[in-house]
């Protein structure tokens, strides 16, 4: 098997998930910026792409037994929705700090929710225990070829919608989306610059790239709850090393300002994790590339608690 997810895998994933995902729009906003609106997916985030791609490939007996995952929220909702779509039971292990809007989202699709700890490692260990005891199929949040291929379908769409794109800016949590989008674009149009963005409070990609191997952070903290992973995956780290041109960090104030900016000027509801790319652009990232073509920032999700969103847009 090829060490990296291929264009053929991503194209096959696109056909497989076509009935379950939205071909989200790319909107131009003030300045040389375009937004890929993954917050408009059925469960409010890009994660449905990878989750459905994997679950749709399970054999009949695997679907009947059910699936399980560990997630801070969006991947959990995606697995819950994908499982419901194919008629499979789903169990989602979430942190005790997960936003209520994301917990209720999982439950609304019929999933069983288990709360476990506060870190990705806490919930991963509980999910693995439940999977072994109950015979469930694990659907990892990012470190799996089928997940990466599913997320990569977004890259194919961006190239179709903005064929002269110069730079694509993606969020970086565990690296599933960054890996998939970068693999799709770099293997189609190598001249496009790919930049991944993470919060300063969760610099796992920055530190891992500096070390030349995946590094586990002792802790993480950010309002961008979907990007607080302590460690990149082995598969996703290898893809970032090969296909991503740069990883940058943004601070909490910049993320909050970007949430408000997206609401005021693009009329979009974006969660902090989905606004980090706009935050990076607002701080100058991609401006020098604008003369070569559009700069596309991925708005990865819009699942934000109403009270928190009200505070962001009022500031």
Each residue of 61-82: pLDDT tens digit? 999 999 999 988 899 999 999 9
> What was the pLDDT predicted at 284?
84
> What was the pLDDT predicted at 288?
62
Active-site position among 36, 47, 186, 204: 47
Average pLDDT over the chain reads 95
DSSP string over 250-271: E-HHHHHHHHHHHHHHH-----
> What was the pLDDT predicted at 118?
87
Q: What is the mean pLDDT of residues 292-301?
A: 94
Report yes or no: 49 and 147 within 8 Å, Cβ to Cβ: no
Q: 65 is written with which tokens?
A: 């037994």
> What was the pLDDT predicted at 183?
98
Report yes or no: 66 and 91 within 8 Å, Cβ to Cβ: yes
The CA-atom distances, in angstroms, between 289 and each of 112, 165, 248, 255, 279 are 46, 9, 16, 22, 16
Q: pLDDT tens digits, residue range 74-116? A: 999 999 999 999 999 999 999 998 888 889 999 999 999 999 9
Q: Look at residue 18 and tell me whether its pLDDT is greater than 70.
A: yes
Active-site position among 72, 242, 300, 315: 300
> What was the pLDDT predicted at 1?
72
Q: Look at residue 126 and tell me whether its pLDDT is greater than 90.
A: yes
> What was the pLDDT predicted at 315?
73
> What was the pLDDT predicted at 286?
63
Q: 273 is written with which tokens?
A: 């994790």
Angle between the N-to-C axes of helices 234-243 and 204-211, in degrees from 0 to 180, rounded to the nearest 10: 70
**Active-site residue flag, 300:** yes
Q: 0.75 exceeded by the pTM?
A: yes
Band of residue 287 on the pLDDT scale cut at 50, 70, 90: low
Angle between the N-to-C axes of helices 74-86 and 48-55, in degrees from 0 to 180, rounded to the nearest 10: 40
- Pick the range with the lowest mean pLDDT from 10-14, 33-37, 125-129, 283-287: 283-287
β-pairing, 33-37 vs 26-29, is: antiparallel
- Alpha-carbon distance of 197 to 255, in angstroms, equals 11
Q: pLDDT tens digits, residue range 226-242? A: 999 899 999 999 999 99
What residues contact 32, with CB distance under 8 A and at least 6 apart? Answer: 286, 287, 290, 294, 295
> Of all residues in the chain, what percent carry a pLDDT higher than 90?
89
Q: Which domains does the chain have, with CATH numbers?
A: 7-45+145-314 (3.40.50.1100), 48-138 (3.40.50.1100)
Q: Look at residue 296 and tell me whether its pLDDT is greater than 80.
A: yes
Length in residues, the chain: 315
Q: Look at residue 290 and tell me whether its pLDDT is greater than 80.
A: no
Report yes or no: 48 and 300 within 8 Å, Cβ to Cβ: no
Report yes or no: 175 and 232 within 8 Å, Cβ to Cβ: yes
Tell me the three state secondary structure of residue 230. Answer: coil
The CA-atom distances, in angstroms, between 213 and each of 82, 195, 236, 240, 283 are 32, 19, 11, 11, 28
- Pick the range with the lowest mean pLDDT from 4-18, 81-95, 286-300: 286-300
Q: pLDDT tens digits, residue range 207-232? A: 999 999 999 999 999 999 999 989 99
Please report where in the chains the tokens 């009947």 appear, as a residue: 64
> What was the pLDDT predicted at 8?
98
> What was the pLDDT predicted at 31?
72
> What was the pLDDT predicted at 54?
98
């Amino acid at each position: 098997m090829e060490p990296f997810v291929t264009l053929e895998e991503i194209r096959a994933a696109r056909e497989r998930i076509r009935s379950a995902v939205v071909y989200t729009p790319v909107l131009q906003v003030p300045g040389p910026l375009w937004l890929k609106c993954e917050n408009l997916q059925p469960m409010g985030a890009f994660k449905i792409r990878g989750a459905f791609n994997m679950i749709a490939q399970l054999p009949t007996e695997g679907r009947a037994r059910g699936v399980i995952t560990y997630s801070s929220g969006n991947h959990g909702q995606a697995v819950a929705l994908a499982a419901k779509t194919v008629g499979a039971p789903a169990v989602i292990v979430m942190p005790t700090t997960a936003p209520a809007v994301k917990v209720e989202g999982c439950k609304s699709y019929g999933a069983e929710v288990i709360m476990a700890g506060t870190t990705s490692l806490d919930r991963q260990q509980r999910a693995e225990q439940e999977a072994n005891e109950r015979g469930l199929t694990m659907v990892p949040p990012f470190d799996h070829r089928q997940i990466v291929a599913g997320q990569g379908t977004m890259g194919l769409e961006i190239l179709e919608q903005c064929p002269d794109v110069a730079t694509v800016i993606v969020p970086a949590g565990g690296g599933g989306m960054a890996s998939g989008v970068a693999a799709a674009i770099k293997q189609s149009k190598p001249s496009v610059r790919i930049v991944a963005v993470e919060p300063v409070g969760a610099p796992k990609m920055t530190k891992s790239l500096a070390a030349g191997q995946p590094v586990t952070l002792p802790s993480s903290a950010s309002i961008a709850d979907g990007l607080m992973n302590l460690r990149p995956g082995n598969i996703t780290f290898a893809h970032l090393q090969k296909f991503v041109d740069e990883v940058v960090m943004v601070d909490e104030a910049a993320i909050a300002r970007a949430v408000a900016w997206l609401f005021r000027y693009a009329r979009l509801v974006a969660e902090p994790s989905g606004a980090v790319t706009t935050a990076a652009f607002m701080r100058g990232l991609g401006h020098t590339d604008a003369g070569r073509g559009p700069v596309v920032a991925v708005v990865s999700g819009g699942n934000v608690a109403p009270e928190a969103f009200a505070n962001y847009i009022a500031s």
